């Protein structure tokens, strides 16, 4: 089947339009990011500028690592950031901890990914943060407009090129700072955790090991049941409050019933204090769908957004019954605002970039069924192909991730040749259902916490952190620390057999 290339000027417009409009199609595919919405965090660290310890560099990166056509040698400046503060130096063979940037500018990682800075002094480590191509300041073809022009320029925007970028930069860093014998440990969360896993598998000569936090590497090609994500969301809410779960489950038909009345949308506008009038009940439903997913995925202490939502729902008895209860949950989740839902919003880099990545290779089939608190919603691959083709003129490759990186029979396959990857998860995270949750070998452990959430283990430590989280981080750090005590660049981890499930 041939797909015509879309005319170039419309790609940015279409991306803006589709990411700004609330469509059921888009918002029922949950976001991937180590760091959730900023209002979910108790710490103001995310809002602070990075310290002077972080130094910015640019590497002259090759646009296409896998072709020898003349145009493949085109280069672009790729940003990476180094923190030398605690590095023991090349002579001590002190390790390099490399954070692999994901679907966002790298700026938030310096303050947000606290596992790096919190443990740098214990490792005497050099910290390196590498920005993913097409995000932040790592833009090919001279400008964002040109890079996003059409599928021909976007075609170099994929995970294989990204991890090849990381390999080139890490080899360059080791050479530039005479760190030949400094072992490299790559760290990533969410999509970045997938990249860390795949990097260790594809570039074992560059990275001695990897910490892959909340990496749903098995949510492709129907390895994981399609309803797995929302089944966990439902479980999270139901465990907090059975009545809250029942209210949410019943609310979808109640919202439809109100919307069908004369002036029904106006009633919903008033009830939910919308920032602009609803055009349909679907807009409201999509917002709620996304809110519940995000609250569950980023159900971090001490705010625990699922508990906040359910507490407000269960305490509310007045107004329009179920609808008033759901509105109270929205207000509790977001905090005090002048209006909610349909807020003015421009597309972010992540909106634009992840739209392409999802429409090319990151095809994660996520659905709901009658066993969840959501209405049934089936992922239809054919509709998805049509949707992406209308956007870009090229279809997605839904089987490419498992073809290139593997995934099927992962325990059997990785047991045969892989080593030195820590798969960490929190079972409250809906994406954990697509992660590695069982030890594959002593050097491929699955470290998880019963009450953990998305990428919580690699975020900044806080004095209010529960003991089970503190213990999880200590176990991960110990495993990595023991590996760095091995002979230089010996690809064998010791101490992994002590890493078990953390209670809590």
| pLDDT recorded at residue 320 | 66
Measured N-to-C along each axis, helices 228-240 and 305-315 cross at an angle, to the nearest 10 degrees, of: 60
Considering 296, 454, 457, 465, which one is annotated as catalytic?
A: 454
CB–CB of 97/117 below 8 Å?
no
Give me the pLDDT at residue 92, please: 87
Q: 81, 32, 427: which is closest to 194 by C-alpha?
A: 32
- Which of 381, 405, 364 lies closest to 159, judged by CA? 405
- Catalytic, 429? Answer yes
The pLDDT score that the predictor gives to residue 345 is: 86
CB 372 within 8 A of CB 173: no
pLDDT of residue 2: 39
What does the H/E/C string look like for 188-202?
EECHHHHHHHHHHHH
pLDDT tens, per residue, the chain with 504 residues? 434 444 444 344 444 444 434 343 454 778 899 998 876 665 555 666 778 999 999 999 999 999 999 999 999 999 999 999 999 998 888 999 999 999 999 999 999 999 999 999 999 999 999 999 999 999 999 999 999 999 999 999 999 999 999 999 999 999 999 999 999 999 999 999 999 999 999 999 999 999 999 999 999 999 999 999 999 999 999 999 999 999 999 999 999 999 999 999 999 999 999 999 999 999 999 999 999 999 999 999 999 999 999 999 999 986 668 999 999 999 999 999 999 999 988 899 999 999 999 999 999 999 999 999 999 999 999 999 999 999 999 999 999 999 999 999 999 999 999 999 999 999 999 999 999 999 999 899 999 999 999 999 999 998 999 999 999 999 998 888 766 665 344 433 343 443 445 656
What pLDDT is attached to residue 319?
A: 65
Strands (E), 165-313: 184-189, 209-213
In the residue annotation, 190 being an active-site residue is answered as yes
Give the chain's radius of gyration (CA, Å): 23
Instruction: State the catalytic residue, choosing from 19, 159, 182, 190.
Output: 190
- Structure pTM? 0.93
Residue tagged active-site, from 351, 429, 457, 465: 429
**Structure letter (DSSP) for residue 186:** E
Question: DSSP letters of 210-223?
Answer: EEEES--TTSSTTS
Token pair in block for residue 225: 């049941």
């Amino acid at each position: 089947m041939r797909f015509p290339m879309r005319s170039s000027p419309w790609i940015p417009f279409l991306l803006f339009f589709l990411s700004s409009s609330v469509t059921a199609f888009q918002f029922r595919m949950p976001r991937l990011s180590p760091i959730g919405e900023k209002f979910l965090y108790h710490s103001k660290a995310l809002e602070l500028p990075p310290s002077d310890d972080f130094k910015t560099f640019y590497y002259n990166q090759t646009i296409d690592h896998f072709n020898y056509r003349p145009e493949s040698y085109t280069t672009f400046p790729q940003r990476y950031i180094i923190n030398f503060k605690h590095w023991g130096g090349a002579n001590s063979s002190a390790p390099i901890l490399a954070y692999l940037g994901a679907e966002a500018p790298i700026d938030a990682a310096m303050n947000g990914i606290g596992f790096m800075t919190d443990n740098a002094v214990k490792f005497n480590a050099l910290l390196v943060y590498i920005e993913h191509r097409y995000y932040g300041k790592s833009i090919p073809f001279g400008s964002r407009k040109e890079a996003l022009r059409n599928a021909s320029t976007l075609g170099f925007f994929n995970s294989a090129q990204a991890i090849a970028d990381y390999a080139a930069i890490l080899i360059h860093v080791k050479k530039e700072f005479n760190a030949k014998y400094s072992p490299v440990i790559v760290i990533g969360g969410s999509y970045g955790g997938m990249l860390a896993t795949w990097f260790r598998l594809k570039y074992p000569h560059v990275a001695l090991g990897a910490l892959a936090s909340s990496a749903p590497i098995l949510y492709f090609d129907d390895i994981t049941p399609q309803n797995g994500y929302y089944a966990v969301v439902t479980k999270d809410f139901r465990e907090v409050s059975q009545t809250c779960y029942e209210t949410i489950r019943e609310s979808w038909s109640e919202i439809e019933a109100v919307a069908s009345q004369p002036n029904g949308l106006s009633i919903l506008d008033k009830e939910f204090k919308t920032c602009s009038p609803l055009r349909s009940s679907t807009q409201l439903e999509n917002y709620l769908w996304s809110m519940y997913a995000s609250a569950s995925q980023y159900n971090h202490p001490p705010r625990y957004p699922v508990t906040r939502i359910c507490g407000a729902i269960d305490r509310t008895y007045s107004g329009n019954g179920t609808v008033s209860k759901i509105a109270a949950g929205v207000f509790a989740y977001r905090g005090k605002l002048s209006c909610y839902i349909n807020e003015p919003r421009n597309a972010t880099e992540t909106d634009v970039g992840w739209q392409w990545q999802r429409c090319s290779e990151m095809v994660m089939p996520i659905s709901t069924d009658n066993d969840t608190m959501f209405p049934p919603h089936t992922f239809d691959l054919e509709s998805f192909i049509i949707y992406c083709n209308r956007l870009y003129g090229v279809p997605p490759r839904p089987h490419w991730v498992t073809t290139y990186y593997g995934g099927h029979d992962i325990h059997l396959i990785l047991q045969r040749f892989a080593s030195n990857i820590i798969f960490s998860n929190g079972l409250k995270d809906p994406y954990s259902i697509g992660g590695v949750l069982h030890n594959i070998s002593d050097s491929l452990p699955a470290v998880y916490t019963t009450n953990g959430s998305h990428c919580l283990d690699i975020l900044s430590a806080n004095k209010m952190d529960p003991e089970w989280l503190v213990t999880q981080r200590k176990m991960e750090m110990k495993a990595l620390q023991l590996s760095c005590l091995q002979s230089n660049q010996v690809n064998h981890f010791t101490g992994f057999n002590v890493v078990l499930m953390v209670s809590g």
